Amino acid sequence: MGRNELCSIFDRLGWKYIELYNEDGGSILILERGCRVIGVYPDSNAENAVWVRPELAELANSAAVTGMKESWNIGGDRTFISPEVEYFYNPSTAAYLIPAALDPGSYETGNRVHGSLTANQTVNLQAYRSDCEIGFDMSKRIRLVPDPLKLNEAEYGLEYSFVGYEVEAEIVRHDHLFLGDETKQLPPLSLWNLIQVPAAGEAILPTNGPAKTVSFLAGYTPCGLQEEPDHIRFQIDARVKSKISIRAGETTGKIGYIRTTADGRSLLLIRSFRVDPTKLYGDVPLDRQDDFGHCVQCYNDDGAFGYFGEIEYHTPLMESTDRVLTDVSQVWCYVGDREQIGKVADVLLQARI
């Protein structure tokens, strides 16, 4: 979906959004609803690097969104909390739910300075496994960042278009909900970032030596999976539902996704994030809830929710003595001919495409 079409849709729906441009003509589009990066365009001719639900183009106004099935599922780069089984799965009804208090939530955009935006919301959720409520303030700061290869561009002989951004997310827990009640334990809490990407591409997960993927969805066998000595490849084709995961000690702190756009160019999306294998990572498969340590995940939809997949990562769990958890990641997007983008992947992901 092109930038102009996307802006036209949001104008018609009455959704507030903000565009940030870099000096080379690249841009990102941030939607206040869910405070998500919903458009990533390395140049004015590029396709959107992230998936956006196409049915939005058919809606006449914002009221029609509420009647849309899975109305939370509109695409983009989102920030959730985890563990997933704690906040998204109700064991009493065996129902999987996206908490509306989290997404779309109640974000309000605050200060906007050149090349950056901040937004805040207050969230109260049910922690299902811990059988209690949790509250926290959540803030996000999104800003443009320079190309990490800019200083070496001439050295590598590279030509491409680029746009990049940083997401700084922070949660401040409301511990007063638990004060004075020694029977209550703080539920586990971490940050979870997900980018929905258009299908017909390949996710690349660089690893610290050989790594063994874990299937995260019981009854679904991953297809298009290739485990190499220093990275993992996972096809996203929106045909067979599956989800894979690797642990914190196996990831290098980067995830890539590459696909070919309609004009024949190659588009590479890379997320770079902090990882600390000495900390506890709390996301677990639903059927193996003692299987801790998972950090990086990839999801392939079967077309039921849309023609997309996801590249995801989790932070370590917040310590019980902490009230604040902060995470910073960057997303770099490149578009160009296959040879040039292959060189970028070789440098930043240490993987040949």
Domain map of the chain by residue range? Answer: 79-348
Alpha carbon distance 19, 44 (integer Å): 13
Res 222 pLDDT > 60: yes
In the CATH hierarchy, which fold is given to the domain comprising 79-348?
Beta-galactosidase; Chain A, domain 5 (2.70.98)
Which tokens belong to 336? 């160009």
Res 16 pLDDT > 60: yes
Under 8 Å between Cβ of 240 and 302: yes
Question: Among candidates 250, 281, 257, 251, which has minimal Cα distance to 271?
Answer: 257
Which tokens belong to 223? 């297809």
Alpha carbon distance 280, 82 (integer Å): 13
Alpha carbon distance 43, 22 (integer Å): 10
Residue 235 has a pLDDT of: 97
Which of the residue ranges 4-13, 109-118, 311-320 would you say has the lowest mean pLDDT? 109-118
Cα-to-chain-centroid distance, residue 102: 14
Res 263 pLDDT > 60: yes
- Mean pLDDT on 288-294: 91
β-strand 266-273 against 132-144: which pairing, if any?
Answer: unpaired
Res 172 pLDDT > 70: yes
Buried b (16+ CB within 10 A) or exposed e, 105-140: bebebeeeeeebbbbbbebebbbbebebebebebbb
Q: What is the mean pLDDT of the chain?
A: 93
- Mean pLDDT on 301-328: 95
Question: Among candidates 80, 332, 33, which has minimal Cα distance to 193?
Answer: 80
Number of CB atoms found within 10 A of residue 220's CB:
14
Taken in order 29, 70, 241, 99, the sign of the CA dihedral is positive
Res 251 pLDDT > 60: yes
Residue 66 has a pLDDT of: 80
* 171, containing H or E segment: strand 161-173
Residue 51 has a pLDDT of: 98
Residues 106-121 have pLDDT tens digits of: 999 887 777 799 999 9
The Cβ-side half-sphere exposure at 247, using a 13 Å CA radius, reads 13
- Mean pLDDT on 82-91: 95
Res 182 pLDDT > 70: no
